[in-house]
Amino acid sequence: MPLRQRQEVQALPRPAELNDLRTICEDGGAVLILDQTRLPNETAFVRLTTLDEAAHAIRGMQVRGAPLIGATAAYGIALALAQGIPLERAIDTLAATRPTAINLRWALERMRRALQESAPVVRQAVAWQEARAIANEDEEANAAIGRHGLPLLQASRNRPVQAMTHCNAGWLATVAHGTAIAPIYAAHGAGIDVHVWVSETRPRNQGLLTAWELAQAGVAHTLIADNAAGLLMMQGRVDLVIVGADRIAANGDTANKVGTYLKALAARAHGVPFYVAAPVSTIDFACPDGAAIPIEERDAAEFGHGAKVSPGGTPIANPAFDVTPAQLISGIITEQGIFSANSLAAIER
Amino acid sequence: MPLRQRQEVQALPRPAELNDLRTICEDGGAVLILDQTRLPNETAFVRLTTLDEAAHAIRGMQVRGAPLIGATAAYGIALALAQGIPLERAIDTLAATRPTAINLRWALERMRRALQESAPVVRQAVAWQEARAIANEDEEANAAIGRHGLPLLQASRNRPVQAMTHCNAGWLATVAHGTAIAPIYAAHGAGIDVHVWVSETRPRNQGLLTAWELAQAGVAHTLIADNAAGLLMMQGRVDLVIVGADRIAANGDTANKVGTYLKALAARAHGVPFYVAAPVSTIDFACPDGAAIPIEERDAAEFGHGAKVSPGGTPIANPAFDVTPAQLISGIITEQGIFSANSLAAIER
C-alpha cells in the first residue's frame, strides 16, 4: 500500500493501517520519510528535497535499519541529481553517513551502475526509477523473508512460541514488512500464537520502536532490559532468537546492533536457535569475515545521561555494532530461503 | 574514617574524602545513610529513625548492594527495638524488602542470635553493638578483599590493566571500600595503571554510581552500554572481569545484577578471567545451587520510559538478577582469600 499524502498521514492512522505503510515514499519530486527519532511519542513525516537533507536523515537516524538506509540513499542520489550535484560527490556524501550497514554502499553502487549507462537527458528519470526499484524490491524481499521464516515459528508446545529479538528489524527498519520481524508478522497473520521478548537496545532504545510496531499489529510482546536475555534463556522461556543484520560477511559472520553477540552466546549456551534475517543486499561477498567489518562509533549523547556523569568527568564509549561469529548462527533467512551461515556462496547475487 | 556530621557532609566534600566516607553510620540513636537514589546529581544524607524508614530505604534502593543492605537491616533492628516493636515482627518486615541478597537474611539471623541470648534490660544496647559490629566487619572484610584481589591486577603489558565490572560493587554498595572495586582501589593506590570499563547496568543505571565513585577516586574509566561487553572482549580490550554478588550458592553458582551472566559467557568465549568478589556473608551454604536462588522482579517504572511505551500497551518484565554458573567463574575473592567456585566448603564460617 503506498504511503498516504502528507497531510493525511500526519493524523495518526488506525494501527492496522499504520503497519501497512511504507517508511519512505515519493511525493512529487521529493521524498517523504517517517521520522523515527520522534517515535513512539509522535508519528510525523519529514519531507526530503536535497542531498544534504537525505544525508542528515541517515546520519541522524530519522531513518535507520540497514535496508531502509539503502533505499533512502538511493533516493538521495535522485534528489542530488535534481540539484545538479555531480554523481560522485553525491555518492561520497551519502557513503560517509554510516560506515557499518553495507546496504548503503550496495544501493549507491547500484545507482552508480544504472546512471553510468544512461544518457544525460534521461539520468534524472533513471535515478528516480532505480531508487523506486530498490524500494519496491526491498518490500518484496522482506515479504519473502516472512514466508521463508514462518515455519520456524510453528508452535510445538501448548503455549505461545517465544521469540526474542534485538534492536528494531521490523517494518520501521525497512521499506515495508521488516526483516527479523517479517516471519513474526507472517506467523501472527497465520493465526500462530507468538510472543516476542523485545530487548530495550541501549543506548538508542530501538527496542521501543519494535514494541511500538508490535503493539500496532496486535502481536503479544514484553519489553526487557538487554541484560535480561541470558536469564530468560536459562529459564527456558525463549524458543528462538531472530535478529536483523547490518552487514553479513562472506563467511557468515554478521554485524548487527551492539548486544546481538551476547544474545547469540546465551542462545548457544542454552540450545536456543539463533537466526539472522536479512535481504541478500545485506551480504557483503567482498568482505571475508567479521574482523573486516568497520564498527561505527557514535556520539556519547545517545546515552542520554547528560554531558557529565561524574564531577571528575566520565568518558563514554559508544560502539554501535558487534559481530556474531558464523558458528553461533543457526541460519540466515533471506528472500531466497534459509541458508546456513557457511553456505552463503550458494546464494544468487 | 567515620562519617562526618550531617550538616558538614551535605556540603560536597573533596573527592578523596568522599570516597573515604562510610555509606552508613550512627548519629545519636538514629542512622545516617547516603541516599543513592540522588547520586550522582546530589550528595545527600537521609536520617533513619524508625523500622519503616529503614525498610523503605532498602526497598526503594536508597541503600543498595548486598553488604550495605545487610548492615542497614541490622541497624533497622536496633531502630525497631527502640520503638518497642517485637523482634520477630521487625525481622519479618526487613526480610520482606528484597528477596535475592542473602546478606540481608544473614544479618537478620545474626541479630536474632545476639538478641535471643540477651537479657531484656540490655537488648537495645546489644542491638546497636551487634549492628555496629556487622558494619565494622564489612569494612574490614572489604579491605581484605582488596588486598587479596590486588595481585590479579598486576599490569603485565605495556598498557593499563583493563578491568570490566557490572552494576555497582564499589564503596557505595558496602559500608566501605567495596567488593568488586576494592581490588581496583587497592591497585590504584599501589600505583598500578588501571582502567575500568563501567557497564551502564540497565534498567537502574547503577553503572553511573560506579563511574561517579571511580571519578572521585581518580581511577581511569569509561562508561559503556551493557550491550558493548562482548565486542570489547572480542577486540581483546578486557583483561579481567570483576563483579560483586548478591548470593553465592554452596556450589559456587552466583546471583548478581541481571546482565552479569552475559558478561561471564563472553569472558569464557574469549578466555578473559571472570572473578566474583564478596564477603563470606554473601555465601548461602544452605542454598545448594543457583536454581534455588529467588530472582527479584522489580517495578517497570525503573525503565524510565513512562507508563506507556506504545499506544496498544507494552508490558515490561524487570528481573533484577541472574545466575552465573560456577563453571564460568575463575575465582571468588573473599576476605579469607581467593577460592575456586567449587571449593567453597573450605571457607571458615
What average pLDDT values come out for chain B (349 residues) when binned by 10 residues? 33 45 91 93 92 97 96 98 97 96 96 95 96 96 97 82 97 95 96 96 95 93 98 98 97 98 98 98 96 95 76 86 98 97 90
Q: Which residue of A has its CA nearest to B218?
A: A312
Q: Which residue of B has its CA nearest to A269?
A: B265
Q: How many CB atoms lie within 10 A of CB B269?
A: 19
pTM of the model: 0.92
Q: Which amino acid is at A56?
A: H
If we measure between CA atoms, which residue out of B102, B112, B103, B104 comes closest to residue B287?
B102
Residue B202 and residue A202: Cβ atoms within 8 Å?
yes
Residue A227 and residue B269: Cβ atoms within 8 Å?
no
Residue B222 and residue A262: Cβ atoms within 8 Å?
no
**What is the distance in angstroms between the Cα of A153 and the nearest Cα belonging to chain B?**
21
Cα–Cα distances (Å) from A204 to A167, A199, A304, B140, in that order, read 9, 11, 9, 41
Residue B224 and residue A316: Cβ atoms within 8 Å?
yes
How much is the pLDDT for B331? 98
Distance CA A263, CA A241 (A): 8
Cα four-point dihedral sign A252, A255, A260, A266: positive
Three-state DSSP string of A286-316: CCCCHHHCCCCECCHHHHCCCCCCCCCCCCE
Confidence of residue A5 (pLDDT cuts 50, 70, 90): very low
Distance CA B106, CA B101 (A): 9
Residues with Cβ < 8 Å from B308, sequence gap 6 or more?
A: B314
List CB contacts (< 8 A) between B265 and chain A.
230, 262, 265-266, 269
Distance CA B338, CA B45 (A): 34
Nearest CB among A203, A216, A230 relative to B225 is that of A203
Return the C-alpha torsion angle A260, A266, A270, A273, nearest 10.
Answer: 10
A226: annotated active-site residue: no
Average pLDDT over residues A104-127: 96
If we measure between CA atoms, which residue out of B252, B242, B262 comes closest to residue B289?
B252
Average pLDDT over residues A210-226: 95
Is residue B312 less than 8 Å (CB to CB) from chain A? yes
Residue A222 and residue B316: Cβ atoms within 8 Å?
yes
Nearest CB among B208, B226, B265 relative to A305 is that of B208
Distance CA B228, CA B224 (A): 6
Phi and psi at B235, nearest 5°, equal -80, 0
How much is the pLDDT for A7? 29
CB-CB contact of B344 with B249 (8 Å): no
Residue B303 and residue A227: Cβ atoms within 8 Å?
no
List CB contacts (< 8 A) between A292 and chain B.
none
Q: What is the secondary structure of A179-241 as a DSSP string?
A: STTHHHHHHHHTT--EEEEEE--TTTTTHHHHHHHHHHHT-EEEEE-GGGHHHHHHTT--SEE
If we measure between CA atoms, which residue out of A101, A137, A131, A94 comes closest to residue A115?
A131
The three-point CA angle B84-B47-B96 to 5° equals 60
How much is the pLDDT for A15? 36
List CB contacts (< 8 A) between B198 and chain A.
314
List CB contacts (< 8 A) between B236 and chain A.
none
Q: Which of A5-14, A302-311, B12-21, B218-227 has the lowest mean pLDDT?
A: A5-14
Residue A228 cell numbers, joined: 535480561
Q: Which residues 254-283 of A are in CB contact (within 8 Å) with B? A: 257-259, 261-262, 265-266, 269
Average pLDDT over residues A282-292: 97
Phi-psi region of B23 (alpha: psi -120 to 50; beta: other; left: phi over 0): alpha
The three-point CA angle A70-A72-A73 to 5° equals 65
How much is the pLDDT for A51? 98
How much is the pLDDT for A29? 93
Cα–Cα distances (Å) from B87 to B67, B118, B281, B324, in that order, read 21, 12, 21, 35
Residues with Cβ < 8 Å from B163, sequence gap 6 or more?
A: B153, B184, B194, B195, B196, B197, B238, B239, B240, B241, B242
Return the C-alpha torsion angle A170, A173, A177, A181, nearest 10.
Answer: -20
Phi-psi region of A47 (alpha: psi -120 to 50; beta: other; left: phi over 0): beta
How much is the pLDDT for A157? 62
Q: What is the secondary structure of B39-80 as a DSSP string?
A: TTT---EEEE-SHHHHHHHHHTTSS-SHHHHHHHHHHHHHHH
List CB contacts (< 8 A) between A202 and chain B.
200, 202, 225-227
How much is the pLDDT for A131? 97
Question: At how many degrees (to 10) do helices B260-269 and A260-269 cross?
Answer: 80
Is residue A303 less than 8 Å (CB to CB) from chain B? yes
Average pLDDT over residues A314-341: 97
Is residue B110 less than 8 Å (CB to CB) from chain A? no
Residue B319 and residue A228: Cβ atoms within 8 Å?
yes
Question: Pick the catalytic residue: B246, B253, B284, B322?
Answer: B246
Distance CA B257, CA B265 (A): 15
Residue B268 cell numbers, joined: 569464557
Residue B218 and residue A269: Cβ atoms within 8 Å?
no
CB-CB contact of B60 with B37 (8 Å): yes
Q: Which residue of A has its CA nearest to B257?
A: A227
Residue A93 cell numbers, joined: 556524501
Burial label, B291 (beta-carbon count in 10 A; 0-12, 13-18, 19+): exposed
